Copies of this chain bind each other. A is one copy, B any other.
């Protein structure tokens, strides 16, 4: 498969961090694993962040991706929510940095556009297009896992684009 790579996509959240591992390129991609790292609100914040860090470290060790792809965070319901998302994001990013795995980041609109062709697509449409592109027989659940697969797909699409550009030089 041309330009095949393995990407770990992460949709960060303090209570639920979605993940999805993809192999392939944007024309032919396969979901190796997907799911959610959950933490309990009753657990101290430091322990929740440690659980996210260690969860991502375990995924990196098991799946040995070439890259970690993660959504850039610009929008949140409120400042409190932004702090929580930022902290979960950092735990995942730091896990990759410690493992020497490159981190690529995409704005939400870029991910939606890459997966659905529409930068303001609703989450359910992203979920349906992820299932279609990965040839899944059912929708990826929960939405956090679907979002993580979407950001990994975005990385595969960008890598193909970069390869085409390089080929034209």
Interface flags for A76-102 (1: CB within 8 Å of B; 0: not) read 101110111111111101101110000
Q: What is the distance, in angstroms, from A45's C-beta to the closest C-beta of chain B?
A: 7
A88 to B89, CA, bound (A): 10
A87 to B93, CA, bound (A): 9
Which of B46, B89, B97 contacts A50 (CB under 8 A)?
B97
Count of chain A residues with Cβ under 8 Å from any Cβ of B?
A: 31
Chain B residues whose CB sits within 8 angstroms of the CB of A73 once the complex forms: 83
Interface flags for A4-47 (1: CB within 8 Å of B; 0: not) read 00000000000000000000000000000000000000001111
A160 within 8 A of B: no
Chain B residues whose CB sits within 8 angstroms of the CB of A79 once the complex forms: 74-76, 78-79, 82
Which of B46, B74, B89, B98 contacts A87 (CB under 8 A)?
B89
Given A53-B97, A97-B46, A103-B46, verify A86-B90 contact (CB < 8 Å). Answer: yes
A81 to B34, CA, bound (A): 31
A90 to B83, CA, bound (A): 9
Q: What is the distance, in angstroms, from A59's C-beta to the closest C-beta of chain B?
A: 16
A49 within 8 A of B: yes
Chain B residues whose CB sits within 8 angstroms of the CB of A98 once the complex forms: 50, 53
For this complex, 28 residue pairs linking A to B, each with C-beta atoms less than 8 Å apart, are A45-B93, A45-B103, A45-B105, A46-B93, A46-B94, A46-B97, A46-B103, A46-B105, A49-B94, A49-B97, A50-B97, A50-B98, A53-B94, A53-B97, A53-B98, A74-B83, A75-B79, A76-B83, A78-B79, A79-B79, A84-B86, A86-B86, A86-B87, A86-B89, A87-B93, A88-B90, A89-B90, A94-B94
